[in-house]
């Protein structure tokens, strides 16, 4: 099937109203999570707490959950593109996630957008359209996404856009590499549970 068919499919059929509500909620969530979650974690656990310092793991996991749920449940190329682009803009504007490295992260936006797009596309292609195993779809989608983002990071180093050493380099290397893998994996596990729960509620349960 072509691109249009792929993006006009979803895993579970919802009413038009339910799909609109879900789309709006996911869009709002991806937009405001980078602003709200770090501050909320600081308020609850304290600014110097381990979870507040590493809030990007929480934010990244939530954003990836939103992307995966959108990948399997939201129809429409335009809506998907909107959901894909919101989180990175919000994270950079908030300044809470990347802090002093945020200015350099601006240059990473194309790679992040493309990586997120591929994550969504592969979930749709493998799991929704081809109806392959959810675990297989997750492994392939996550590996390709992380590879794209990390490749973009290394290309910017090669082009002397990002410094090759120092704290900024170390922070971005971690954020664009292993952190992407960790948060996407956490999201895949959580999203798998959400999908199973939705299927069970609608009486459509099949092992995800």
pLDDT 10s digits, 6-39: 777 777 777 778 878 888 888 888 888 887 888 8
Give me the pLDDT at residue 92, please. Answer: 65
Rounded CA-CA distance 123/134 in Å is: 8
Pick the more confident residue, 91 or 82. 82
Give the start-to-end residue ranges of the domains of the chain.
Answer: 3-201
Rounded CA-CA distance 189/119 in Å is: 15
The contacts of residue 200 (CB under 8 Å, 6+ apart) are: none
Considering only CA atoms, which of 112, 25, 148, 19 is closest in space to residue 72? 19
Angle at 72 between CA 10 and CA 81, to 5 degrees: 95
Sign of CA dihedral 13, 17, 18, 21: positive
Asked whether the predicted pLDDT for residue 61 surpasses 90, the reply is yes
pLDDT in tens, 163-200: 777 777 787 888 888 999 999 999 999 999 998 888 78
Q: What is the pTM of this model?
A: 0.85
| Tokens matching residue 56 | 């990007």
91: confidence class by pLDDT, cuts 50, 70, 90: low
Sign of CA dihedral 44, 48, 50, 54: positive
Place of tokens 């999570």: 33
């Amino acid at each position: 099937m072509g691109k249009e068919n792929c993006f006009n499919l979803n895993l579970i059929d919802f009413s038009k109203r339910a799909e609109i509500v879900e789309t709006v909620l996911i869009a709002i969530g991806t937009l405001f999570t980078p602003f709200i979650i770090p501050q909320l974690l600081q308020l609850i656990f304290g600014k110097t707490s381990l979870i507040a310092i590493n809030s990007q793991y929480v934010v990244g996991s939530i954003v990836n959950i939103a992307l995966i749920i959108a990948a399997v449940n939201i129809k429409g190329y335009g809506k998907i593109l909107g959901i894909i682009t919101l989180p990175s803009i919000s994270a950079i504007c908030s300044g809470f996630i990347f802090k002093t490295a945020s200015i350099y992260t601006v240059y990473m936006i194309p790679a992040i957008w493309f990586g997120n797009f591929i994550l969504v596309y592969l979930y749709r292609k493998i799991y929704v359209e081809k109806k392959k195993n959810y675990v297989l779809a997750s492994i392939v989608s996550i590996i390709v996404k992380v590879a794209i983002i990390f490749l973009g990071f290394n290309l910017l180093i090669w082009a002397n856009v990002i410094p090759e050493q120092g704290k900024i380099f170390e922070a971005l290397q971690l954020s664009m590499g292993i952190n992407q893998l960790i948060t996407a994996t956490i999201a895949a596990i959580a999203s798998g549970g959400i999908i199973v729960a939705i299927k069970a509620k609608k009486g459509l349960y099949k092992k995800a």
